[in-house]
Amino acid sequence: MRTSRFTEEQIIGALKEAEGGVPVAEVCRKIGVSAYTFYKWRRKYSGLNVPEARRMRELEVENSKLKRLVADQALDILALKEVVSKKW
C-alpha cells in the first residue's frame, strides 16, 4: 500500500481550513492536491482530530497484517486438506 505524502496533521489542518471558509480550490492549490483527493480526505477524516486519525491509520495497518495472516493460514489449510484427501 502506498503511503501518503501528507501527515494526519496536514490533512486535518487542510480540512479545518476549508471548514473555516477558505474555498476548497484555494486549499487544494496551496497544499498541491487535487479536489478529488481533498474530498476523499474529507470523507475519511471528517470529524476526527489528530490522535483519532493516527489511531485509525494504526488500526488499518494492523488489519491488513491480520488479513494477510488469515489468507496464509487458509492456503495452508487447503494444502493440508488436499494432501490428506489423496489415497495412498
Please report the pLDDT score of residue 46 as a whole number. Answer: 84
Which residue reads 500500500 in cell numbers?
A: 1
Please report the pLDDT score of residue 37 as a whole number. Answer: 95
Please report the pLDDT score of residue 1 as a whole number. Answer: 55
Tell me the pLDDT tens digit for each residue of 37-81: 999 999 988 888 888 988 988 999 999 999 999 999 999 999 999
DSSP label at 23? Answer: -
25 band by pLDDT with thresholds 50, 70 and 90: very high
Question: Is residue 2 over pLDDT 80?
Answer: no
Residue 28's nearest CA partner among 20, 19, 39, 38 is 38
Residue 19's nearest CA partner among 53, 46, 37, 44 is 46
Tell me the pLDDT tens digit for each residue of 10-23: 999 999 999 999 99
